[in-house]
Structure formats: C-alpha cells, structure tokens
Structure 1
Amino acid sequence: MPCYRCGIRQTDPERGASPWRRGVHREAQVLICPSCQREHDLELEHCGSCGSTRLICRLGEVECRACGWVRPARSGEPEAPLVTAGAPGLSEEVEAALSRVLGRRPGG
C-alpha cells in the first residue's frame, strides 16, 4: 500500500518498528511515509474522545489507538484516498518481486 499523500511504496521492513504511520482519511485506512509525516496538515480524522489521529479503520468501525475509543464507520462507500493503489509502476514492481521469489529471469 503506498503513502496516501505522495504515492511512494513501503519497502521491505528493516528490523525494529516501522517508521511508517497508519491513519484514517475519508473513512479509509491509509499509510503515511516518514517524509509526509513532517507535514502539519495530513487531513487525518481525529478521535472524538481524545483528539488523537492514531486511528485505525476495520470491520465497519474506527478505533483510536491512543485511548481505545470506538465508533461505527460512517455509512456509505469510503471516499477514494488522494493517491490510489494503482499508482504507476505497480505492475513492474509486482513482476520484479515475483521474479525474485520464484527465481525467474526478468521478462521471462
């Protein structure tokens, strides 16, 4: 899943905690890359109890990871994130990853 702001894709994680952050934007779970986290206006939803942006969206509900507050997700389809999963280059990245895993030569 790419960063919803800039579209950069998360690479294989290194040891330790990921520098990427999760949030909820327009009723959809999104990832935020370390560079975009420096932005002051990420347009993330806030907890209705404590005001935190440490929210996760799952199975029709939104939960705050800071205080545990839970609310039902708003009805209707979530709005599309700013950057979609179909960003340019995805098919090439998938092909390269499959080639590495399956031992294929590129283009073969």
Structure 2
Amino acid sequence: MPCFRCGARQTDPVRGASPWKRGVRHETQVLICPDCQRSGDLDLDTCHSCGSTSLICRLGEVECRSCGAVRLATGRHGTCSAPPRPTGAPGLSEEVAAALDRVLGRTPRR
C-alpha cells in the first residue's frame, strides 16, 4: 500500500521498526511515509473519546490505539476499505512493468 498522500511505496526496512505510520482517514486505513509525517497537516480521523489520531480500522470498526475505544465505522466514506491511489500515481503493476522494461532494456510501454 502506498503513502496515501504522495503515493511513495514502502520499501523493505532496515532492521528495526518501520518509520512508516498507520492512520485512519475518512474511515479508511492509510499508510503515511516519513516525509509526509513531517508535514503535520495529514487530516487524519481522531478518536471521539480522547482525540488521538492513533487509530486502526478493521472489519467495520475503528479502534483507538491510545485509549482502546471502539466504534462502528459509519460507512459514509467506505467501511474500512483500501484507500484510493493518489491522482496520477501508478499502480504496483505499472511500476513492476516499468522496472522490467528498464532492466531488460525494452522500449517503455504506452
């Protein structure tokens, strides 16, 4: 899953914890790359109980990792579904095809 904001793809991390963060935006689980985390204006959903943005979305529920509060996803924006790709961001299949073209010396596909 790419960063919801810039479309960057997560790479294999060096040993230790990943610098990428999870969040919930419009009741959709999203990943946030380290660069976008620094921007601060991510517009993530917040917990109705404690105001934290440390939320996870699963099976139609949104759970706060800070206080443990659980609520049903309302379904207004989609019920804990995969996020849409950022506009103009290529999908994984397009990225793989482009990488193969580069490695094999083929003419880029159109």
Query: TM-score under structure 2 normalisation?
Result: 0.76
- After the TM superposition, which parts of structure 1 deviate over 6 Å for at least 4 consecutive aligned residues? none
Contact kept? 1:23, 1:32, Cα under 8 Å: yes
1:28 CA drift (Å):
0.4
1:69 CA drift (Å):
0.7
Alpha-carbon displacement from aligned partner over 1:26-72 (angstroms, at most 9, x marks no partner) = 11000000000011210100011111100000000000111111000
Contact kept? 1:26, 1:80, Cα under 8 Å: no
**Residues 19-58 of structure 1 correspond to what in structure 2 (within 5 A)?**
19-58=19-58
**How many residues are matched?**
102
Q: Structure 2 counterpart of 1:65, which letter?
A: R
- Rounded to whole Å, the distance in 1 between the matches of 2:75 and 2:67 is 23
What SS does structure 2 have at the residue aligned with 1:35? helix
Q: Structure 2 counterpart of 1:87, which letter?
A: A
RMSD value over aligned CA atoms?
Answer: 2.9
Q: 1:38 to 1:82 in 2, by over 3 A?
A: farther
Q: 1:49 to 1:77 in 2, by over 3 A?
A: closer
What SS does structure 1 have at the residue aligned with 2:93? helix
**Residues 1-108 of structure 1 correspond to what in structure 2 (within 5 A)?**
1-76=1-76, 78=78, 81=83, 83-84=85-86, 87-88=89-90, 90-94=92-96, 106=104
1:13 CA drift (Å):
1.9
- Rounded to whole Å, the distance in 2 between the matches of 1:62 and 1:14 is 30
Alpha-carbon displacement from aligned partner over 1:52-105 (angstroms, at most 9, x marks no partner) = 100000000000111111000112552884634x931622544589x8xxxxx8
Query: TM-score under structure 1 normalisation?
Result: 0.77
